[in-house]
Amino acid sequence: MANVPADLKYTREHEWAKREGDRVRVGITAFAQDQLGDVVFVELPKVGAKVTAHQAFGVVESVKAVSDLFAPVSGEVLEINAELPQKPETVNKDPYGKGWMILVKPSNAGELDQLLTAQQYEEFVAQGGGH
Amino acid sequence: MAPDLRERVGERRPDDRLVEHHVGARVARAAHERLVVARHDDDARPPARDIVVRGHLRGLPAAARGDDVDALGVEQQPKHFTDVGDVLDEEHPEPLARRISSPILHTLFSPSTTGEADAEWVRSGRALTRPEGRWSTGSLVNTALKRTPLYESHVKAGARMVPFGGWEMPVQYAGIVEEHRAVRAAVGCFDVSHMGEFEVEGPQALASLQRLTTNDVAALEVGQVQYSLLCYPDGGIVDDLTLYRLAPERFMLTVNASNIDKDWSWVREHGAAARWRNVSDDTGLIAAQGPKAEALVGRLADRDVTGIAYYHFAEGRVAGIRTLISRTGYTGEDGFELYVAAVDTPRLWSALLEAGRGDGVVPIGLGARDTLRLEMRYALYGNDIDATTNPLEAGLGWIVKPAKGDFVGRDAIEKVRVPGPRRKLIGLEMADRSVARHGYAVTTPVASPTVGREGAPTANTIGIVTSGSYGPSVERSIAMAYVASAQAAVGTELGVEIRGQVRPARVVKTPFHPSRVKK
């Protein structure tokens, strides 16, 4: 089973969300990057863009697949990981650290609580998401 | 800001015409997905050999999955592709789709198990055929996938198995980029046993092949291999193949896995005078490719292999196994394709991996096979060439020899030769790292791709991408595409419409990466 840090929240679309004060940092899980394989392109929104929970905010492409990225929470994009366009492989190498994607100022703090806990996400992956 | 409404998408016409479409495009995703759907709905196509697909990080719709919405209440999304990639195992005999709801698994590979694959199933079984009733795609497509003699080895090695052209094949072991680089730097072994082999012999064999194939078989000597095509009367391509002259009146054809049944019917219909044998099920095929392939194969062979020239073959024993040693490949590296009896394939596979340990040999999946061939601009049937493409526009005029006499498709092809094809298969390099994938529209360039003022057309569609990926050796995003001949010159600035945005691309010389085959 892939690494699932206990202090993060998760979507069923395999994004993670990390509360940092009144902000939420977003990336994809170790499981996601493993399944995608070598990430070669990441398309992120612009700073200032609004994202909506459960809706696509960007795209990640591996050699063989294109996948939408879904926002765990609604809000405004405060920062994006500017390193990813040049070094998309960072998503594979460090999905929970340097491979983060966007930093959001959430408009509805309650949304974060509706996400999966690490344990729920692990179960979700173990039940159907993985092999 | 999104560009504005895109009216139609570019399409490839069977008559080889490219229609210029207005691409002013607001959309993006919807139009984009229509392209993908159109592709999968296209019955005229053979089972896709393309293993690229677009998906979400979401699961199959519950109804399609034959599953209840799971306990966590996964929100289901419509899904326009039908495959999942996974490994069946004895502990989980239930239909795979019940076990897999991981969206990403679904995103990886496209449907390759369509009607034609069903037809393949009709061929009488050997050990390779998966037991009936075990499906890889649950309720969506009840197609039995075939397995090569190396299936167990792949699973044991931890390969990610996927449906491909009716077969359950390894798409990657360690990772596509790593495997790709291993082949360029050292040596890799590929299981290509899924490919088809036909033998043809008798006094009529040569004449039959001259009639069936586009290249000049009379020029082929015993011990030599020839790249060639089967064409339809209208010049469209039935398949591309390699042709071996085993003896003066005995030949072998190696054809694409997804086309075996179609080709088999075709050759018997149009080459009826000769004696044909479909030996696909009896034949295993392993490719050893890379700068260290010669040393590796040489170490195991009972004969000198350094003297086997490119596109020549010899018989010998490799690891004690009777082998047809062919100096051919699909990677642009030096190397061999080793034909053995199906039953001997696992032994040869193990011997190569064992003996090559010091060379850094690794097993290579279909993913890297695809990026390796793409960097060489080698055509892939079902992606870059098919029944709707003419050999000349595909850049395959060099294997069409009208002077040899009549053959199926000659008149139609020659009609194109003098005016020249209206479109050409060219190499594209993307300015950024976005990936131009099969079916994306190629457009005229636009200075400001994201700004689509009302009423201001941003670009015109002048072609279509047939294959595209990140090229691990060229370290750029590259693609093959058909474009109008007027825009096919090296250096021409073009665009590729990716998710509603036209992104800059340039026509470049191919191969993208220098070939190192042994000439």
Average pLDDT along chain B: 77
What's the confidence (pLDDT) of residue B297?
98
Put simply, whether A113 touches B (Cβ < 8 Å) is no
Distance CA A107, CA B388 (A): 52
Give chain A positions within 8 Å (CB) of B109: 64
Distance CA B116, CA B144 (A): 12
- For the cut 80, the answer to whether the pLDDT of residue B120 exceeds it is no
- Indicate the residue of B59, B472, B499 with minimum beta-carbon distance to A59: B499
ipTM score of complex: 0.90
B468 to chain A, closest Cα gap in Å = 9
- Indicate the residue of B55, B59, B371 with minimum beta-carbon distance to A63: B371
The whole-model pTM stands at 0.79
Distance CA B42, CA B49 (A): 14
What's the confidence (pLDDT) of residue B446?
79
What is Dmax (Cα atoms) for chain A? 38
Domains by residue range for chain B, with CATH: 1-44+422-519 (2.40.30.110), 56-172 (no CATH)
Helix (H, G, I), strand (E, B) or coil at B316: strand
pLDDT-derived band of residue B457, with 50, 70 and 90 as boundaries? low
Please identify, in words, the CATH class of the domain defined by A14-126. mainly beta
- For the cut 50, the answer to whether the pLDDT of residue B338 exceeds it is yes
pLDDT tens digits, residue range A7-44? 999 999 999 999 999 999 999 999 999 999 999 999 99
pLDDT-derived band of residue B458, with 50, 70 and 90 as boundaries? low
B135 or A1, which is more confident: A1
- For the cut 70, the answer to whether the pLDDT of residue A4 exceeds it is yes
- For the cut 70, the answer to whether the pLDDT of residue B139 exceeds it is no
What's the confidence (pLDDT) of residue A109?
83
% of chain B with per-residue pLDDT over 70: 70
- For the cut 80, the answer to whether the pLDDT of residue B2 exceeds it is no
What's the confidence (pLDDT) of residue A128?
74
A35 to chain B, closest Cα gap in Å = 6
Domain residues of chain A, as ranges? 14-126
Q: What share of chain A is helix, strand, coil (3-state, %, to 5)?
A: 20, 35, 45
Distance CA B441, CA B462 (A): 8
What's the confidence (pLDDT) of residue B203?
96
Distance CA A76, CA A78 (A): 6
pLDDT tens digits, residue range A93-128? 999 999 999 999 999 989 999 999 999 999 999 987
What's the confidence (pLDDT) of residue B459?
77
B44 or B57, which is more confident: B57
C-alpha to C-alpha distances, A34 to A1, A28, B125, B221, B231, nearest whole angstrom: 11, 10, 35, 48, 41
Are B58 and A59 a contacting pair at CB < 8 A? no
C-alpha to C-alpha distances, B481 to B385, B437, B438, B507, nearest whole angstrom: 11, 10, 8, 9
Q: Closest Cα partner for A50 from A28, A75, A21?
A: A75
What's the confidence (pLDDT) of residue B214?
98
% of chain B with per-residue pLDDT over 90: 68
- For the cut 90, the answer to whether the pLDDT of residue B251 exceeds it is yes
Pairing of strands B493-498, B501-508: antiparallel
- For the cut 60, the answer to whether the pLDDT of residue B9 exceeds it is no
- For the cut 50, the answer to whether the pLDDT of residue B34 exceeds it is no
What's the confidence (pLDDT) of residue A108?
93
